[in-house]
A and B are shown apart, each in its own frame.
Chain A
Amino acid sequence: MAAPILALKGEKAAPQIHITDAGMSTSLQSRPGHDIQSQNLRNKTTAHSPNFTTLQETQQPPPENKNANMLECFEFFGEDDFAVAFFFGLITVLATALIAFFVLSWSWLTAIAIVVAVFILFRHVSLKFERPHVGRDWISRGNQRQSSTSIPDIDYLPAVYFLYVLGSGGHTTEMLEIIRQKIHGQPNQHRRYVINKGDSSSQERVQQLESIIRDAYPDERVGTRDAFLIRRARDVHQSALTAPLTCLMSAGQAVLALTREPKSRPAARYGYQFKYPHVVVTNGPATGFIICVVARLLKIFYLVPQNRLKMVYIESWARTQTMSLTGRLFAWTGIADMVCVQHQSLARRTGAEYIGAIAAPLALQNYNPED
């Protein structure tokens, strides 16, 4: 049903590799592909980088084709009406604010600021109360035996679009494990991975996972996927002064990541069903928090449909007694629709949802030294 089709318009102008999911056709310029490669090369030269590649790796033929087959990577605008309109609007609003700042008196300014703040607060709270209250009994393993009927049937929905935010190191490991535990072959599915720019090890691991998924399901049930490279919110040794600036930059890119329609699911064929992700899943990196804040703001200002961009935050399996900083931020601001933890003890302390150790089930299942 989800026969792979090519993007219809602006194919040649777009600076991306575009590959259909059955791998039927490969075409176009490969700038991002080269980008990935050059990043790899760069990492090879810097020996202290965590993405140290072995000699073995360099001897292999360049993985360009493999990359191209697996993932389509976005970095730039392309021609996206929403993003252009959004940023144009944003600039207009900021310019108006600047002019107003000089023209209007202080009392007017305060009044406007208060109105805006109250609006945001009101929308935030009302969104919070719109949240569905079914959370407690969804939760699969650990708590509840799953009967065949408690598995929701989402194969026939018009669209199912997940956005996964990957961090680095342990965060990526856990997220990929969660995806492994969750994946279900269905034709109407699109997955988008948000990866930090320059984090080539995460990219490779996503590609590994995708190739496993491809092998496991027949072509029409694999679904489509792409990746979005986003700037890191804060570099490792960045000073606190410039950090807000880079945070803003990655927030701008987060808007693109959230609203850019997948090439493999063009509106010409699927309507706007695949325009916005249904579920945003994150598990701890700072980028995830920024993306969720942006998503929430988009919802608050009615820039995206209200029944999209549900956010799930999953606390890392490593936290057993206390929440991480990101977790506390999520819990405190309440921007996520669900805040889940993977340890009973932590759930008891914080009142978050306990969903079982879904990032570690295989490890612990196997692990039973007593028998």
Chain B
Amino acid sequence: MCTPTTPENHPALLASPRPQATLDFASNMPDNECKSPSQLQSPSRKRPKTNHDDDDDGSDTRRRRGAGRRCFVTIGATAGFRQLLEEIIQPEFLQCLNSYGYSTLEVQCGPDCEWFAAQVEALPYKHGIEILFFQYTKNMQYHMIQCRGEMGVRPAGCIISHAGSGTILEALRYQAPLVVVPNPTLMDNHQAELAEECEKQNWAVYGILGELTTAIQRSHERIVQGRLNDLAPYTPAPFPVPESQRVTLFDWMVLTCYPEELKRQQHLRDLGMVEDSFEQEKQQAAAALQQQTTELEKNDHSRLQVD
């Protein structure tokens, strides 16, 4: 059933720059290889497999957990983004992933899933990268956390996504290294704006179609710079947001429906702010006094020592 003539089966070609990746690839290879022809013959059979990939506790997934870096590509739920999908299965890109120690490339490919399957099938040589793909997922959190670098668990991978705000927000929440690639075919290229802002604020790397290898390189510079490889395990944000952090805009808005109340509350707030500023001044004065006295004491000490 397996096709024995592909270069992947050739032992000579298995020697790749990173021994870890090779090892992992070798262990995953039979599995991967045997699935492929069936996919090619009947695309309908692919569904169960892709769904299986979503499963958190699938044995498949558990086996992969100790593997090398993981690259997750997502193009969002609304529109297809075929250019990006084309880009990520270019040999240069796979080569680049391999040289950075990646072992898995996971793709959420939306409406172009069938097409992508055919493309992956046609690849002559995958540079030791295991390519997984599925159409949509409910459990984005799982896929993204797989790319978050945690100390002693896994090295940081990379999320390559379209520049949609939902995806970016989610990826930033998990502190996974992110490359955003705006989709130029969308209406007036509005995603580019957000991608530029992300680059400016150093939230993510702005990836340009055609230069994704550079983007990966820069993403790894960021990983080193921000030490994203050894973060603490992810803890979700506390839910009832602390009262001092809460967004109170809408509460004030409700108060505008009750004008007397609004007046009263504003008065109270102003009083509170005055009190606060008083207290602050007091503290500042106290701190200044403290500093003065310590300086005086120091001077005294030094004088004593001189004497």
Which of A154, A168, A180, A370 gathers the greatest number of chain B CB atoms within 10 Å?
A154
Q: Mark A148-189, 1 if CB is under 8 A from B, else 0.
A: 111111100100101000001110111001101111110000
User: Does B268 touch A at the CB level, under 8 Å?
Assistant: yes
Bound: A180/B78 CA distance, A: 24
User: Does A281 touch B at the CB level, under 8 Å?
Assistant: yes
CB contact between B135 and one of A47, A168, A169 (< 8 Å): that residue:
A47
CB contact between A337 and one of B47, B202, B253 (< 8 Å): that residue:
B253
The residues of B with any CB-CB pair to A shorter than 8 Å are 47-48, 51-52, 54-55, 76-78, 111, 135-139, 163-167, 169-170, 172-173, 175, 190-191, 193-194, 196-197, 202-203, 222, 225-228, 237, 239-241, 243-259, 261-262, 265-266, 268-269, 271-273, 275-276
B249, A182: Cβ atoms closer than 8 Å: yes
A140, B248: Cβ atoms closer than 8 Å: yes
Which residues in A have their C-beta under 8 angstroms from that of B164? Answer: 169-170, 318
Nearest Cβ in chain B — how far from A267, in angstroms?
Answer: 18
The residues of A with any CB-CB pair to B shorter than 8 Å are 47-48, 50, 52-57, 132, 134, 138-141, 146-154, 157, 160, 162, 168-170, 172-174, 177-178, 180-185, 201, 212, 215-217, 278-279, 281, 307-308, 310, 312, 316-322, 324, 337-338, 340, 343, 355, 358-364, 366-370
Q: Given A50-B136, A149-B271: A362 and B244 within 8 A (CB)?
A: no
Q: Given A147-B276, A152-B248: A181 and B241 within 8 A (CB)?
A: yes
B246, A181: Cβ atoms closer than 8 Å: yes
B257, A308: Cβ atoms closer than 8 Å: yes
For the complex of A and B, 10 pairs with smallest distance between CB atoms: A149-B272, A369-B226, A318-B165, A363-B172, A55-B51, A52-B136, A170-B166, A173-B166, A50-B77, A320-B197
Nearest Cβ in chain B — how far from A187, in angstroms?
Answer: 15
Residue of B nearest to A158 (CB): B258
Q: Given A148-B272, A157-B254, A278-B257: A316 and B248 within 8 A (CB)?
A: no
Interface of A is mostly: loop
CB contact between B166 and one of A153, A174, A279, A355 (< 8 Å): that residue:
A174
CB contact between A56 and one of B54, B252, B273 (< 8 Å): that residue:
B54
B193, A321: Cβ atoms closer than 8 Å: yes
Which residues in B have their C-beta under 8 angstroms from that of A138? Answer: 248-249, 252
CB contact between B172 and one of A151, A174, A366 (< 8 Å): that residue:
A366
